[in-house]
Structure 1
């Protein structure tokens, strides 16, 4: 994934591709699901401690956090730890979210040795292009989700609702930089677990020079049954939640995994 222009040399232009304010509605929907984590045995985050002190806010680990656009909203409600494979994208997020912990890691193999009240994985999970990759990522999610905690995974598409098409966008920065992109998502082969999107970028540097870049992204495309089965086999109680959105697009499916509390049957 880190070989893509998107996440390496073009990473500083990410805010011109996708602005944080565009994520407000989706982050609010995710936050409502992340809050469904059961209170830890010692009491609920945010409630007064029996000893008289306030309890800390819920902790959330975000895997594949990218440029930090979701975290820009979620950090107001949760204590966020952000993990991404790309150091360039982490640098973008650190400028936007300096109060958050940032760590480099692969969602398939990461082991921090600690757990969180909730684990959030946005569309970076689509870079899991085979079921083995998806299983590894979900195992990482489970390993970092405390008993009684919750996991929320949000692919842009599942097999049942994938539609090929085109998109375009981009904007300008105050320092003279600018970016415009065209995204072209191709039809998926019947029964395939991947789909391909080509991106073309026109990039204007601050000195006015313009360059062109092209990426081909291969993304995982799994049916609902696979998502729910993989989550269940990892140890979660899994369900699918349809997004409520005012955007002019198909609602996403949010996959929610609840990890049983200690002593509670799965």
Structure 2
């Protein structure tokens, strides 16, 4: 019954995401007839830019934040410990902290470029960047602050998505003065926003597994079973359709 309900929800969500951009295009066409005055369709079109980010946030909070894993007895043959575990923890924590730092910086850079013209946001130096990475790494270790960070990331994603929506509606050109110009070598700002979030989602899942319960205090992590890595597959499936939505919207 649970599987059936989840499949039904996924079907309706995907169907909605595939239909929505065509509806938005119609609203935009109606809005384009009279861009000088505020109309019902112009309001609809502006507000519709918040639909997809809202779906992403709801899905992420429900399915990609509060992970639980199997706590079966750990046997010596299927564990990661010692230097291998240290390497995984260091790499994952650094990677996740860097992307969170960079993602939040992108948000502030957009704010300064859009609303504080003439005021440039200082670029992060190596010392500042390392300090922020260390700070976020410490926050990620603790459960409550980790969940708080995840919520901040989702708010950050939504704000960036709305800024991009504003840029596209007002035909504001994004050039070298924007920090995330050609990020990942891409021109599509929505795809950049999604790809950064996906990278954070996957790394957040990995960190949730590594730091689950007493894994770090025992300095021993059980190799995940197949069912425990299905959230990564779900992440790829969900965000694939989010990407399709934005590609249709272009």
Same fold? TM cut 0.5 = no
**Higher helix proportion, which one?**
2
The structure richer in strand per residue is 1
Higher relative contact order (CA 8 A, sep 6+): 2
TM-score interval for Structure 1 and Structure 2 normalised by the shorter chain: under 0.3
Give the TM-score of the pair, scaled to structure 2: 0.25
Structure with higher Rg: it is: 2
